[in-house]
Amino acid sequence: MFVSEVVIERAIRGESEAQREIHESFYPRVYRLVRRIVGETDADDVSQDAFMRVLSKLDSQLGCMVSRSTRPCSTSALAIGIQPNPSTRIR
């Protein structure tokens, strides 16, 4: 899972191909994290919300930012009534 700085810079400029490349690179990681927190049923929707946040805040710290953006989306989803995945403890 590596995205070059050039791709990140292109994505920051709004190039959809670069944004798609970032999405394809990180989506599996985001989805797994979200699914652990909110469960299978809502994982795709919450993952898409997380990616909208990520793409709106791109910087050179993308890897860390993906996790930092994904967790709040997942916990927000829980706050609005999405049932948590019963097999996961939230830390």
- Domain positions in the chain are 5-77
69 closest CA partner among 27, 40, 41, 39:
27
36 closest CA partner among 3, 65, 67, 58:
67
Its pTM stands at 0.60
- Residue 85's pLDDT band (boundaries 50, 70, 90)? confident
Fold of 5-77: Rna Polymerase Sigma Factor; Chain: A (1.10.1740)
Rounded Cα distance, 18 and 32, in Å: 22
Rounded Cα distance, 2 and 49, in Å: 22
Rounded Cα distance, 3 and 20, in Å: 11
**pLDDT of 35 strictly over 90:** yes
Residue 82, SS3 per DSSP: coil
